[in-house]
Structure 1
Amino acid sequence: MNGATTTRWIVVGVDGSDSSRHALEWSAYQAMIRDLGVLIVAAARPLATDGFDVWSSVEEQAGKAEGVGARSLLDHAQDWVSRLFPELSVRTRMSFDRPAQALVTESHGPGVAAVVVGSRGLSGIAAAFVGSVGIELAARSPVPVIVLPRDHAAAHGVRSRVIVGVDGSEPSRRALAFAFDQARFADTDLVAVSAWQPLVAFAAATGPIPPELFDDATAAEAARQALDDELMDLRLVRPDVRVHTRVVRAHPVVALLEEATPADLIVVGSRGRGGFRGLLLGSVSHSVLHGARGPVAILR
């Protein structure tokens, strides 16, 4: 942590909202246990007014000059993190781009390990807009993106698990590798979830299917074997990670959200098998992102 050339960074966006405070504290703790630094980013635009009580005076004192509010917020955020984690390397950066673009730009910077944002508690309707920072960032960032919900209650030091969705796609494999590393650093349990659904529902769309595959037991066993295959290599290189498996007869979104608690980190790929390339995110990652009660990590 002694030089800019060797430090790796977690980038976190702040806007004055309560969810961005959660994102900042979560990022600082994750950086501390990984020996990373924190780069705090704010966009020079009107600050949010729906939270951050501890910084509520910042916006009132900032005035109307462009960038002054963001600069004041960054100063207070840096001071806040430094008080919580005095040994942490902390930098700040103000951008005049819109928030999503500012964070996408930073995600391509040297040494960036992940980007973290708060969701600000977007509703289902608001979440459908392309301009949602979390959705756009997750679709364009080359590094993992972690989104924390507005009501996230897990503070630093609270023991949690890592829940990862596994479907055999390339983004899922990258999510699985990230989940193993996350569990190892945090010394916590990893729960790998594979969801399967009755093949009868897909028979009309996929054509003739051998009769034996309509049997639920056969389908469940195939899903279990596929999950074990996906885990095999990572279990060998990360034997210290405590891995639990769940093979669930359910939609993937339901399986992940029912398994996870607000303290858990859910990790998913940005799109699974058969995802439509024209969409910013796949349907599973999009639905998990806006249905989770705890942090969600998305990997492309």
Structure 2
Amino acid sequence: MKWKNLVVGVDGSESSRAALRWAYDVALTQNAELTTILTWRPVPPPPAGSASTYNPEYDHADQARVAEEQLLAIISEELGDDPGVLVRPKVVVGRAAKSLIDASHDADLLVVGSRGIGGFAGMLLGSVSQHVAAHAACTVVVVRAPGSDEAAATDESLADDVG
């Protein structure tokens, strides 16, 4: 099967970085385009009268700019400055699972990490990757970070099942 349009969810976690590297390797071999998606949600102002360090000068445009800078830095750190394939960074306001599922309608392959930055210890699959795997409009690959606790937990549970 030849994939031309790959989408990968990136949040900065080790698992999403592994997913980015995996998707990049596939994009190289398939001569495909790679769209990276980082989602963010606006930080609302605190309730009136509460003590806070909230700065009204730091608005949604600033938050979007920070998210874009974060995504570009992750791409550069993981793929270098001249990756050899077309990489389209995309920053989306909203929930990660919904944004990735929406993007899956125009993709041949959607790649996500097994657990993101909000993952709970001991979970083998995060809520975003689980939701995406169940509802995406294209093939989904879930990548776990090498040497992660989840890999060890999976190996232990498989050993228990076999033994």
Given the alignment of the two structures, is residue 217 of structure 1 paired with residue 61 of structure 2, yes or no?
Answer: yes
Return the TM-score normalized by structure 2: 0.77
Q: Which residue of 2 aligns with 1:261?
A: 105
Give the Cα–Cα distance (whole angstroms) in 1 for the partners of residues 54 and 43 of structure 2: 10
1:295 is displaced (CA, Å) by 1.0
Equivalent residue for 2:114?
A: 270
Which residue of 1 is the match for residue 34 of structure 2?
Answer: 190
Q: 1:238 to 1:226 in 2, by over 3 A?
A: same
Q: Distance in 1 between matches of 2:124 and 2:22?
A: 21
The reply on whether 1:177 has 2:21 as its aligned counterpart is yes
* 1-structure distance, mates of 2:136, 2:65: 28
The 3 A distance-change label for structure 1 pair 179 and 272 is same
SS of the equivalent of 1:296 reads strand
Task: Please give the secondary structure, in 1, of the residue aligned with 2:125.
Answer: coil
- From 270, 279, 295, the equivalent of 2:123 is 279
Q: How much identity, in percent, do the aligned residues show?
A: 36
Q: Is the 8 A contact 1:198 1:214 kept in 2?
A: no
Deviation at 1:213, TM superposition (A): 7.5
> What is the identity, as a one-letter code, of the residue corresponding to 2:92?
V
Larger Rg: 1
Pair 1:233-2:99 in alignment: no
Q: CA deviation at 1:250?
A: 1.0
Structure 1 Cα separation of the partners of residues 57 and 6 of structure 2? 31
Q: How does 1:159-178 map onto structure 2 within 5 Å?
A: 159-178=3-22
Deviation at 1:218, TM superposition (A): 0.8
Structure with more relative contact order (C-alpha pairs < 8 Å, separation 6 or more): 2
C-alpha spacing 1:286/1:213, structure 2 compared with 1 (3 Å): farther
- 1:261 offset after TM fit, Å? 2.4
Superposed CA RMSD: 2.3
TM-score under structure 1 length normalisation:
0.43
Q: Give the C-alpha shift of residue 245 in structure 1.
A: 1.0
Give the AA of the match of 2:61: A
Q: Is the 8 A contact 1:264 1:295 kept in 2?
A: yes
Unaligned runs of 5+ in 1: 1-155
Q: Report deviation, 1:209.
A: 4.6
Distance 2:119 2:101 in 1: 20
| Aligned mates of 1:177, 1:234 — CA distance in 2 | 7
